């Protein structure tokens, strides 16, 4: 399992998400982040083309979209969290 870092923007998004998320939504987020940390090359990830020097990816799970990068094989940086805001 890779070490992970929560970026500033991810933490801000997470704080907003936690205000309106159900317990099952929070558990789903936790399981998805654990799956990414366990295997950053999950099937279904899409390159974001944000920075070619440090590739980043988008991974959708349910109604969540997680943006992360792999600065090296042993680290995952979670950059952004997106979800439907109603």
In whole angstroms, give the CA distance from residue 63 to residue 49: 22
* Residue 10 is assigned to a structural domain of this protein: yes
Residue 86 has pLDDT above 80, yes or no: no
Q: Tell me if 13 sits within 8 A of 81, measured CB to CB.
A: yes
**CA 53 to chain CA centroid, nearest Å:** 19
Write b or e for each residue in 32-42: b if 16 or more Cβ atoms lie within 10 A of its Cβ, otherwise e.
bbeebbeebee
Spatial separation of the C-alpha atoms in residues 32 and 3, rounded to whole Å: 15
pLDDT value of position 67: 96
Q: What is the pLDDT of residues 1-57, one digit of tens each?
A: 778 999 999 999 999 999 999 999 999 999 999 999 999 889 999 999 877 788 899
Q: Residue 11 is part of which domain span? A: 3-36+45-64+75-82
Q: Is residue 11 part of a domain?
A: yes
Counted domains in the chain? 1
How far apart, in whole angstroms, are the C-alpha atoms of residue 65 and residue 24? 16
Residue 22 lies in a domain: yes
């Amino acid at each position: 399992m890779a070490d992970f870092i929560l970026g500033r923007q991810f933490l801000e998004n997470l704080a907003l998400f936690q205000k309106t998320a159900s317990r099952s939504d929070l558990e789903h987020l936790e399981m998805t982040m654990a799956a990414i940390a366990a295997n950053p090359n999950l099937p279904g990830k899409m390159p974001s083309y944000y920075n070619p020097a440090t590739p980043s990816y988008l991974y959708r799970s349910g109604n969540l979209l997680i943006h992360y990068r792999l600065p090296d094989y042993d680290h995952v940086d979670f950059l952004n969290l997106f979800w439907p805001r109603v």
